[in-house]
Amino acid sequence: MSCDVLVIAPHPDDAEIAAAGTILLLARAGRRVVLADLTRGEMATRGTPATRAAEAEQAARLMGVAARENLGLPDTRLRDDDATLAALVGLLRRHRPRLLLAPFPRDLHPDHEAAGQALRRAYFLAGLAKVLPELGAPHRPELVVRYLQHDVPEVSFCVDVSAVVAEKRAVIRCYASQFSDDRSHFVRRLDPLERVESRDRFFGARLGCAAAEPFSIEGPLCLAGLDLLLGGRP
């Protein structure tokens, strides 16, 4: 079954931290969004694969996504290799998204980088009929949008998520296992919610709204005309 948007995340919670507001807005607009986690987060300092799976399921329900799956690739050992390519090509051909929402291929976390790089290859090769034909009919999404995680090297546009700030907070709070009073393992000593809310407020302040999520695309974005820019925010 095809979907409007396929969101691919290296670990359960990455998609929510980076883009839960945008996912919530898509689902509310009636778009069919499917989420795929590449690993079970089994190497995380806190939580177990079972608790992470239950948390991910709860978060998916709150966001209103149509489906969520986990590819079970090895946490902390994601590579842009042939096994990962096959898993991603199969995923893209199974869900046949119009838009692929994927990690930016440069980030502090090596798994995030590897996932971003592997998806760049899989996006193209999934469209070639002679590549892994046993994994289904070729399919290439119309557009790839990169969400940004620990690092924000390039921003092409932001989505105003002011209307769903409270809902995004509730979604990230689903991952209770990832919060702790002991801050020693947190990246930059901020828990996931503090980190992303600071970021979203920063971009909101630049744009004149309460909160915004940044994204990156390769190459120019095609608009039907400038009228689009006059209908909403300046």
Residues that bind Zn ion (CB under 5 A): 10-11, 14
- The C-alpha angle 82, 86, 87, rounded to 5 degrees, equals 120
Q: For residue 143, what are its two tokens?
A: 């557009």
Nearer to Zn ion, 55 or 160 (CB): 55
Q: What distance in Å separates the CA atoms of residue 88 and residue 32, rounded to the nearest whole number?
A: 19
What's the min distance (Å) between Cβ of 178 and Zn ion? Answer: 10
What's the min distance (Å) between Cβ of 144 and Zn ion? Answer: 19
What are the backbone angles phi and psi of residue 134, rounded to the nearest 5°? Answer: -70, -10
What's the min distance (Å) between Cβ of 77 and Zn ion? Answer: 13
Nearer to Zn ion, 175 or 203 (CB): 175
Q: For residue 144, what are its two tokens?
A: 């790839």
Q: For residue 140, what are its two tokens?
A: 């290439």
Nearer to Zn ion, 94 or 109 (CB): 109
List all residues 6 or more positions away from 44 whose beta carbon is below 8 Å from its beta carbon: 11, 52, 75, 177, 178
Of all residues in this chain, which one has the CB nearest to Zn ion in the complex?
11
Nearer to Zn ion, 103 or 141 (CB): 103
Give the relative orientation of helices 14-28 and 165-173 as an angle to the nearest 10 degrees: 140
118 burial via Cβ count (<10 Å: 0-12, 13-18, 19+): buried
What's the min distance (Å) between Cβ of 230 and Zn ion? Answer: 38
What's the min distance (Å) between Cβ of 129 and Zn ion? Answer: 33
For residue 139, the number of C-alpha atoms closer than 13 Å in the C-beta half-sphere is: 21
What's the min distance (Å) between Cβ of 220 and Zn ion? Answer: 29
The answer to whether 200 and 21 have CB atoms below 8 angstroms apart is yes
Nearer to Zn ion, 18 or 100 (CB): 18
Nearer to Zn ion, 192 or 204 (CB): 192
